[in-house]
A and B are shown apart, each in its own frame.
Chain A
Amino acid sequence: MSFLDLKNVTKIYPNGTKAVHETSLSINEGEFMVFVGPSGCGKSTLLRMVAGLEDITEGDINLDGKLMNEVDPSERDVAMVFQNYALYPHMNVYNNLAYGLKNRGIDKETIEQKVNDAAKLLQISDYLQRKPSMLSGGQRQRVAMGRAIVRNPKIFLFDEPLSNLDAKLRIQMRLEIKKLQQKVGVTSIFVTHDQVEAMTLADRLAVINNGIIEQLGTPIEIYDNPKSLFVAGFIGSPQMNFLDGNLKNKTLSAEGFEIKDINSDYEGEVTLGIRPEHLIQTENGLINLKVDLVEQLGSDNLVYGQLKNKKDFCYRCPGNQTIEKGSNLSLNIENNKHYIFDKSTGKRVN
């Protein structure tokens, strides 16, 4: 049996909104799981149910072999890092870290030992006597994590903890969270709407949409093999290009070109997905792109333009290529890396 087990967990709010639909999920001990999805998709609700901050309407949550449904949040032995950190404004950093331990009746020396160890690990030893209002965003973030670590909980829960930081600090803290989790080895769930965060942090990630887990897998599995139109569009930056098409007799006719020998027996209206990085320039390629705009990122260029039928399209090429605005590019799909989705259901068909 896995460490954290969600069985048919459902959340219906008193006003009738169904935030989470019968969701089942198993998380192994020591695993870093990321819930990713657009805002309002139910990922935070799911996390808060694990924490005990939301009641479970239906289903079971088991943590370390114990049914948690009716267990009080304080008894669950989980620690949570909140989006706005929720530090205790009237306590100094030391007491912020020590508060949870004091409530558990741990003796003073042990508390001091644990707080100092956690502070050292997070490099906040110098600020222990300061109030949260005297700390910078990054330092507050560390204190919030320290408060979680110091209790040595069974599971860490992160509710979009990086979204209040500036871009540079976010990348740095992302790295630190990952390192820290590997060092401490505690099972973690991290909620985010940022797919880059999700990809970089996760051992496994769950893409959630409208209260349903659309796909569960390692970041690379999900990137390489999206099972639905939603997942394909959500994971990957810049977003995957989508074109309308028709599939018949294993031949896909899209706008202005055909692809033969498609590995699918499906017939009908489809959506063809091609990632911007899966294109190469050739002569007489399938796709003709008229360049509108080039974003030079240094390592890469993002080329935005339109196809013949005025459809927007994006192509990613190495940064050393010079591409002029207004020029015409001829592109082919690299190694047949294309994704075909049923247009009506959004399910992958190839």
Chain B
Amino acid sequence: MTRFITSSFSHLILLIGILIMVVPVWMIFASSTHTSSMINMNGLQMFLGDSFYENYLRVLLYQGGFFKEITALKMFFNSFIMATGVAILSVVTSLMAAYALVYYRIKHATLLFWIIFITILVPLELRIFPTYSVMAELNLVNSYFGLIVPISASAIATLFFRQFYKTVPDELLESAKLDGANTWRFFVDFLIPLSKTMIVAMLIFMFVFGYNQYLWPLLVTTSEQYWTVVMGLKMMSGSIVHRFAFVIMSMVPPILIIIVLQKHFIKGVFQDK
């Protein structure tokens, strides 16, 4: 009986926690399906209205910005390009950096690794002016390349891959060598397939990281053509229901990615071989 009470109690706490997190999101979603005048008069709504299609379609296709050059659809496209670019580029560079650090006979490889790792302590915000001036010199302002490259070196991903490579037994490399695999083949035929789950996990992680960028895209894009979703949240003007609809839509891509790939994500982060 006491067990029943304690377990009910802990379930109650968990339920309250879930409600605290879910209810505001639900309220925004529910409100976004009403008309503006309804919200302005009656405040936030708990139940669905009947303006869902109307509001969401308008938001997707509305020409926003000062110069009316950008639609939400285009912002989603930009964000997708940026997030995917960041994810792929950072995973590829981290994989290769970790490979070099672990398998090449580099002097002071550990020291080099820690130097790379220290960059975690130097966030983009701290180096934003030099980074911007480099991009400006290279004429990469207002381009996808400029959006992606400066935030695509990931010390965290390098750490993950390095730690994983260190657990790969030496005999595997030796055996592969005797089987005629050169350095490149060992990387492609062994390390990449062996770290597959971790690669997927890092892709998700870096996708969300790229998608959530705000300050850097704000700085490096002056043309509305390159606005991203997260920037749009601030820039989009319009009635309250349309903003709500945009907020809800902006959450969809990362959530979708995580739902679809969460099995790999969990396996990759808590790797048990």
Contact = CB atoms under 8 A, between A and B. Distances in A.
B169 A80 contact: no
A168 interface: no
B194 A89 contact: yes
A247 interface: no
B189 interface: yes
B185 interface: yes
Nearest to A53: B174
Interface stretch (B43-51, B175-183, B257-265): B175-183
23 contacts: A52-B177, A53-B178, A72-B177, A73-B174, A73-B178, A74-B178, A74-B182, A79-B178, A80-B174, A80-B178, A82-B174, A82-B175, A83-B171, A86-B175, A88-B172, A88-B175, A89-B273, A90-B193, A99-B176, A99-B179, A99-B189, A100-B178, A147-B179
Interface string A104-117: 10000000000000
B216 interface: no
Interface string B187-202: 0011001101000000
A333 interface: no
6 closest A-B pairs by CB: A100-B179, A103-B180, A86-B171, A86-B175, A74-B180, A90-B193
Interface residues of B, number: 19
B178 A78 contact: yes
Contacts of A80: 174-175, 178
A84 interface: yes
Contacts of A103: 179-181, 185
Contacts of B172: 86, 88
- Mostly, the B contact residues are helix
A51 interface: yes
A74 B194 contact: no
Given A73-B178, A74-B177, A74-B180, 7 more contacts: A53-B177, A84-B169, A86-B171, A100-B178, A100-B179, A103-B181, A103-B185
A83 B171 CA distance: 9
Contacts of B181: 74, 99, 103
Interface of B: 169, 171-172, 174-182, 185, 189-190, 193-194, 196, 273
- How extensive is the interface on chain A, given as a class? 20 to 34
Contacts of A52: 177
Interface of A: 51-53, 72-74, 76, 78-80, 82-84, 86, 88-90, 99-100, 103-104, 147, 151
A106 to B, nearest CB: 11
Given A99-B189, A103-B185, A86 B174 contact: yes
A76 B174 CA distance: 13
A74 B183 CA distance: 11
A82 B179 CA distance: 13
Most buried by B among A52, A88, A147: A88
B168 to A, nearest CB: 10
A122 B47 CA distance: 69
A103 B180 CA distance: 6
A103 B182 CA distance: 9
Contact of A82 (B171, B185, B189): B171
Contacts of A82: 171, 174-175
A88 B194 CA distance: 9
A90 B194 contact: yes
Nearest to B175: A86
Given A88-B190, A90-B193, A99-B189, A104 B180 contact: yes
Contacts of B177: 52-53, 72-74
B188 to A, nearest CB: 12
Contacts of B180: 74, 100, 103-104
Contacts of B193: 90
A80 B178 CA distance: 7
A91 to B, nearest CB: 8
